Amino acid sequence: MTVKIAFIGAGSLVFTKNLVRDLLTFPAFRDCTISLMDIDPGRLAFAKSAVENILNAGEYRAAKLEATTNREEALRGANGVVCTIMVGDLDVYRHDVEIPKKYGVDINIGDTRGPAGIFRFLRTLPGMLDIARDVERICPDAIFLNYSNPMAMLCRAIQSETSVRATGLCHSVQGTAAMLAGWIGAPAEEITYTCAGINHQAFYLDFNWNGKDAYPLIRDAVKQNPAVYGEEIVRNEMFLHLDYYVTESSGHNSEYNAWFRKRPDLIERYCTHGTGWNPGEYGVVVKYGERMKNNWEQQMEEWRDKPIDLARGEEYASYIFNAVFGDGTLFKFNGNVRNFGLIDNLPEGACVEVPVLASRNGLAPIHVGKLPDHLAILVNTSSRCEELAVEGALTGDKRKIFQAVAFDPLTSAVLSLQEIQDMVDELFEANRGWLPAFEGDATVNAQR
């Protein structure tokens, strides 16, 4: 069987390059068809050129490459679909962080949850559902892998509103596991773990080195090595007080709770330094986006023309495809799926991030049980806010969107209810034209 993989949003060049590279390392995919699709012809051309470089460097002569702006053409006959879209450019995205900042909610990244993540979700959902429904219609047996944020809300809506075989993937689980292994001097292949929660707020419920609990070693490294502590200050503080390590970086996690960003002195102490891959100051992704917007072609040229490393990386997508329609090697990964009997003390039907087994039979989520009670308090709050936001998005109910923002931990730590309502009204107004489901009165109706 000749396999076809469609990349929707292929102009996300780094993702596309890395995932294509990984895919072609599997013998089952050496003669596959790679179909790149993006609505931006310029970015699509860069992506096509970058993939051609990989094909040439690896001498993958049997592989076929397509590039198109037509989504139906890309999806026709696809066995696997990778989605890396972003809806709206920097000019609209910056409102997500600048308007909350005006009200005192200091956001670092803003792509996952909270006021910024929710409005990013509202903009992205219509296009994402269109893509998923095209998959449902054109290639209904395909495996659909989403990399777009906000991961949990998008996956929850896709999986409730369509029948596609979908999950969402984030590299934070395997990336953090490798970081922790490095801190204690353990070879990554000797580490095993169980990790569960929701996207960016999943916790390692156990973390073992050759079958023995490695958490005491991690605690010693964090407490005794200033360089280790300083590398991830927010996450290390969470670990020292909550006893379990969270998956996503300090910059992200500083936004998801009430402890680190509600006062300037706390931001200076915990968030300005030692946030892993990104600075922890306000609006870091907007600042990065401004640099990219001004010289994106130069950046793309640099990425495209870097020396090509053909070694397989750690992203899950190629392993999943190989398990389902490649050589059939089983693969366990952490994926985003709806919570039907998976985590006992998170909302039924909400999107959770749990171990999933990929095989010839498809994707099978694994029951985890209960989160520790104190973690469940934190994760439930975020999960229930996401459920409210999804319901509001699907029904066009601005009131539910306001309520989802109102219970966000950081927002509620800083603002009154009326201030939150005013902020949400302003966010709706700034997004006018992007949210057809909410056309009409730009304000949240305060009366029921």
- Are residue 79 and residue 101 in the same domain, yes or no? no
- The answer, yes or no, to whether residue 354 has pLDDT greater than 60, is yes
* Among 141, 168, 195, residue at a domain's last position: 168
Distances (CA, A) of 164 to 125, 129, 347: 15, 11, 22
pLDDT (tens digit per residue) in 374-419: 999 999 999 999 999 999 999 999 999 999 999 999 999 999 999 9
Helix (H) or strand (E) holding 120: helix 114-138
For all residues of the chain together, what is the average pLDDT?
93
Structural domain count, the chain = 2
**Residue closest to 429 by CA, chosen among 153, 124, 119:** 119
Shared domain for 188 and 250, answered yes or no, is yes
Average pLDDT over residues 280-301: 62
Q: Assess whether 183 and 35 both reside in one domain.
A: no
Cβ neighbours of 194 (radius 10 Å):
16
Q: Are residue 267 and residue 411 in the same domain, yes or no?
A: yes
> CA-CA distance, 385 to 408, in Å (whole number)?
7
Answer yes or no: do 49 and 182 share one domain. Answer: no
Condensed to tens digits (0 to 9), the pLDDT of residues 138-188 reads: 999 999 999 999 999 999 999 999 999 999 999 899 999 999 999 999 999
143 shares its domain with 49? yes
Binding residues for substrate: 149
Q: Tokens standing for 257?
A: 């709770």
Residues comprising the binding site for Mn(2+)? 170, 200
Q: What are phi and psi for residue 271, nearest 5 degrees? A: -115, -15
| Closest to 68 (Cα-Cα) out of 95, 86, 44 | 44
Examine the residue annotation and report whether 367 is marked as an active-site residue of this protein: no
DSSP secondary structure string, 274-313?
A: -BTTS--STTHHHHHHHHHHHHHHHHHHHHHHSPP--S--
Can you read off the two tokens belonging to residue 246?
A: 């969270």
Catalytic residue among 95, 171, 367, 374: 171
Q: How many helices (H) and strands (E) does the chain have?
A: 18, 12
Q: What is the CATH number of the domain that holds 357?
A: 3.90.1820.10
352 and 270 in a common domain:
yes
For 184-214, how does the pLDDT look when each residue is reduced to its tens digit (9 = 90+)? 999 999 999 999 999 999 999 999 999 999 9
Give the domain extent around 147. Answer: 4-91+112-168
pLDDT of residue 448: 44
Instruction: Give me the sign of the Cα torsion angle 387, 145, 197, 150.
Output: negative
